[in-house]
Structure 1
Amino acid sequence: MYITRAETQTGSPDESSEVEFISLAPGSELAYTLGQRHCAGVITDNGHHACTNTSAPYCQEHHSTWVCAKCTGTCLKDEMDCYESHAIYLAVFAPDIHKIGVTKQWRLTRRLAEQGADYGIHLQTVSNGRIAREHEAAIATAASITDRIRAVTKHTSLYQDVDESAIAAQLANINAESAIELHTGSQLEIGEYIESLPKVDVSVSESMTDTGENNITELKKNPDPPAIYRLAYGFELSDRPVSETIITGTVRGIKGRLIILDYAGSTYTVDMRDLVGYTIASGATTRNLQASLGAWE
């Protein structure tokens, strides 16, 4: 998580403040109080440029949309630039929530971790992003699979187990027209293809630690092979945590953009996107918070 010092946020477009990294590793202690919320401004190579506009998390001037997220096969840019190999995948969230998606092949497990998926199934590899988006849209339509999952839905999946039978049923909905083209040029029906995939366990904390250029270069040379990936986030929950917007407590773990915090005998989940734009002050929150079920044990 990144912050800038509040006292340097003058709102002048000509001034910038240094960006500071705060670790969210398990066991990290956070003790901050949220203040007013406004536009988060913009981060450049020179640092953070603040904005005092009251629109949060971004004002119209600083709001941006990634056009590739809207692509369904017809490039929306002035010039297509996604010529790397792309993977089409099925992301699985407990117990039985499924999402179709695409990403650069070398980013597959990282992308699954960024979304907080429990399982990821590599369905197909294609030569560029345009083809990937086209196939993604076709599969989504044929099998009635969504291409986005709301954070509140991911919150409810935190303490549940994956229903593997539901995965099999979902894959069965992808009809024969979505045959998988393997690197050898041969084709298999999707059921045969899935059965041929190895199951790979991924420790998210380890996979997200090394983000250096050397690691990225190696991943591009040797991307993750087609597989069924089972992601482990390093923590367990037996009950539903309370959804809150705080940055006080002991970090139990991170799943996608959700922080899991233990504080005052309760467990909370915080959507990091809900923190964007707040001014903060040092010191634990004194606000009255709803207690989780674990507080009464």
Structure 2
Amino acid sequence: MNTHDTGASQPAAASPTDAPGEIARLLDIMVRLRDPKTGCPWDRVQDFDTIAPYAIEEAYEVADAIARRDWTALPDELGDLLLQIVYHARMAEEAGRFDFAAVARGIADKMVRRHPHVFGQATLTPDLWEAEKARERAARRESGTLAGIPVDLPALLRARKISARAARVGFDWPDATAVLAHLKAEIVELEAEFDGADPERLADELGDVLFCAASLARKLDLDPEACLRQGNAKFIRRFEAMERSFAQEGMALSTLPVDAMEDRWQAVKRSLRTPPPARDAD
């Protein structure tokens, strides 16, 4: 995210424990950055479409800091994410649509509404949260079991949500073993398209495989996005170790046959096959 020096005349820092004061300071900084005459040239020309990608990027950086258990970096990453909310709220206020207070009030009201067992007289039941969400969707006139699932979610996460929503009305596999059997069947269907190699057919069948894999993650109570991030990180560790081992012998990967790389890859896998680092209790 673009960062700026707001100058010596910026609002004085509040007490570290003064959350309302720090929020007010941040809101004031955003007003100054967006000022059409004295604000930052970059900030004042942004709009909802140009800023939206940063919100997605910052959310992933928060998730990355948590995955790495980097508690020193996490406040900074959370601040970057908070800035996105402040940014959008300021642009909306300029357009006369809503302001930051409306955002905060809306989520506070929603949390109270979705927790009647805490803020009201209701008894906690397994479906209490989802029942309230269903009422909210009905109030927005969103009908149907799959209504309201954001289109712009990461595809694996959206697939998990879609299958979970369908499962609530009984459209689901009985267990993870049944999902795995279906996944194997989808892979066979994908393989059957290899001969024709029609891109549309291949994409359709591969989509079925990925959707089924996301459903399997749900049945195993896993986050498919987190699983893929872990797989990405594992591949990078192994690939870089392989590359370093050849470099120490004066060889570049681009000059080697694939068989040599595969042999070294297997050796690296054996050398790095250690238990994942323990995580502290949350």
* Structure of greater Rg: 2
Structure scoring higher RCO (CA < 8 A, sep ≥ 6) equals: 1
- TM-score class normalised by the smaller sequence: under 0.3
Please give the TM-score of this superposition, normalised by the length of structure 2. Answer: 0.19
- The structure where helix makes up a greater share of residues is 2
TM-score by length of 1: 0.18
